[in-house]
A and B are shown apart, each in its own frame.
Chain A
Amino acid sequence: MIEGLGLQKHYGNIKALNGVSFKINQGEVFGLLGPNGAGKTTIIKMLTTLSRPDSGKCTIGGFDVIKNPFEIKKLIGVVPQENNLDRELTAYENLLIYGMLHSVRDIKKKIQGTLEMVDLWDRRNSNVSGFSGGMQRRLLLSRALLTEPSVLFLDEPSIGLDPLIRHQMWDVIRRTRIDGRTVVITTHYIEEAEVLCDRVGILSKGELIALDSPHNLKATVGEYTVEFISTDGRLIQHICKSREEAHNLAKANETPVTIRQSNLEDVFIKLTGERIE
C-alpha cells in the first residue's frame, strides 16, 4: 500500500533522512517512533506531498508521490503536528473550506457526522481561536476524516495533551480504523505506539533502526526489564530474555529491584543507547 525506498533529505547541512526504506500494508496501523528530530515528520511530509526527497522514492497505492501528487491527494487525510486550522474561522467553516477543496459530496451531512464523532458539533459555530488544545486536535482529526481517506496520517496526534484527553484521542483514533483504512502515526510517546500500532518503525538520527510489531521488537531485545538504583544513585536497567533470567539477576542484587515487562523505550535504549525524549 505505502512504500518508501531509500529516502534521503537534507535541510542545509543537517541530514534529516539517510536512506530510509519501509513498506506499510493496507489496513494496518503503522507507527513511526523516535525522539524529536529523528525524521518522523519529514517522512510524513514526503508521503503527503508537502516535501520532496533529495533522493529515493515513495508510493501510495501504486502512485508515485512526486509524479502523481494529484492522485495521492485524493487518497490521504492528514493531521499535522503543527496546528494549521484557521483560527479566525469557526469549526464549521474550517471543515467547509476543507471539504470544498476536496470536492466532498453531501458536505453538510458529512461535516455534522465528523464533528459529532469528535464531540464538537455543539461548538461548530465557535471560532477555533477559542478552542482548547485538545479540542483543536480533535477538530484536526475530524477535518482529516471528512474526505473518508484511504490513508490517514497522524503526525504526533496527541502532542501537548494531558493524559485524560490523550486517552480520549486514542479512542477516537481507534474508531477511525474502519473499511481497511491504513493509519500512519508518528509519535514519541511509547504508550501511544504500543496501544495503537500493529507495527512500529523505530527512527534514530534519520535512520530506520528497527521495524516490527511492538511484541516482536520487545521479544528481540528481551521481554523483561530489571531496574535498580546503583550505589551512586543512577538508574540501572537490564533487559532479560526470560522471567527466570530477570529473577536470577534480581536475587543476585543486594539493593531493591523492580522487574517489569519491557516497553518500546527499552527497545530504543537497547538499540541506540539513548532515551526517547
Chain B
Amino acid sequence: MIVSGWYPIFLREMLLFRRKLLRLGYLFSAMVVPIIYLLAFGLGLGKTVKIHGSDYLTFLIPGLVAMSSMNNSYTWVASALNLNRVYFKTFQVFVQAPVSPSSIMIGEVLAGMVKGLFASFLIIIVGFLTSPHFSLKPIFIIILLLNCFLFANLGVITGMLSKSHEDTATYANFFIMPMAFFSGTFFPVEKIPGLIKPFIYLMPLTHTNIAIRKAEPDMEWLISFAVMIVYSMVFFVYGSRLIKKYSE
C-alpha cells in the first residue's frame, strides 16, 4: 500500500481523537467555554441588544463558532505536537520517516482542522437551537474551514517552538486569549477605539469574524479572505521550515 506522507500522520491523530471522543470529558471541555459565553452574553443580552439591525444572539453565534474553531484547531495541535516532541518523543517517528516536512505539516494541520470543525459543529447545533435567524451559508463554511486551517498552522508553529508544555499555555494566554476577546467575537470591531484599531486588524481572528458574518461576499469580505489566505500561507511555510530544520 503506497500512501501520501501526510495520511499516516492524519490517521494517527484521528485514531487518538476517536479514543478521546469516547471520553465524556473531551466533549465537555470542547463545549463548555463557548456555551458559558452563549449563556452569559447571548441569552442574557440577546433580547435587549441589537447589532447591525439584528438581535445579539444572531451576531454572537458566528463569533463563537470562529472563536471555538480557533481555540480547538490551535490548542489541540500546539499541545499535542509539543507533548509528542518534548515528552513522548513520538514526533521522532515522523522526522525519521521518508516523508517531506510539508507532508508532516499537512497531516498535523488537517487533524487540527477536524478537531476545530468538530467543536464548531457543536456550537452550530446550539446556534440552530437558540437562534431562529442563524443559518449556514457557503461563505460561512469557507471561512470556517479557512479559520481552522489558519490556526492549526499556527498551532504547529507553537508546538515546534515551545520548549515545554507550560510555554504552550503561555503563548495561548498572550496571543489566543486576547484575540478571542478583542477581535470582534462579542462586539463589532468598529466599536473599538481608533488608537488600537490597527492592532486589532493585525489579528487574524478579526478577519475571520468580519468575513464569517457576511451574508454575501463584498469588498470587505474579499479583503478579510485575502488576509486570512496570506496568514495561512505564511504560517504553513514557516511551520514546514521549522519541521525541516528540526534537530535534537
Contacts and interface: CB of A to CB of B under 8 A. Distances in A.
B89 interface: yes
Contacts of A98: 8, 93, 97
Interface stretch (A102-110, A231-239, A261-269): A102-110
Interface in B77-102: 88-90, 92-100
Contacts of B2: 103, 105
A240 interface: no
Contact of B96 (A73, A83, A86, A93): A73
A45 B248 contact: yes
Given A51-B247, A101-B97, A107-B1, A80 B92 contact: yes
Interface SS of A by simple majority? loop
Interface in A87-112: 87-89, 93, 96-98, 100-105, 107
Contacts of A52: 247
Contacts of A93: 12, 15
Given A52-B247, A100-B8, A103-B3, A78 B16 contact: no
User: Size class of A's contact patch?
Assistant: 20 to 34
A48 interface: yes
Contact of B97 (A45, A73, A87, A96): A73
Interface in A63-79: 70, 73-74, 76, 78
Given A84-B89, A86-B16, A107-B1, A101 B94 contact: yes
Contacts of A100: 1, 3, 7-8, 11
Given A51-B247, A100-B1, A86 B12 contact: yes
Nearest to A127: B19
A88 B19 contact: yes
Contacts, number: 75
Interface of A: 45, 48-52, 70, 73-74, 76, 78, 80, 82-89, 93, 96-98, 100-105, 107
A86 B89 CA distance: 9
Interface in B15-51: 15-16, 19
Contacts of B88: 84, 86-87
A101 B89 contact: no
Closest 6 CB pairs of A and B: A100-B8, A101-B97, A84-B89, A73-B98, A52-B247, A101-B8
A85 B90 contact: yes
Given A52-B247, A93-B15, A76 B96 contact: yes
B114 to A, nearest CB: 17
B7 A78 contact: no
Contact of A70 (B9, B98, B248): B98
Contacts of B92: 50, 78, 80, 84
Given A49-B96, A102-B97, A89 B1 contact: no
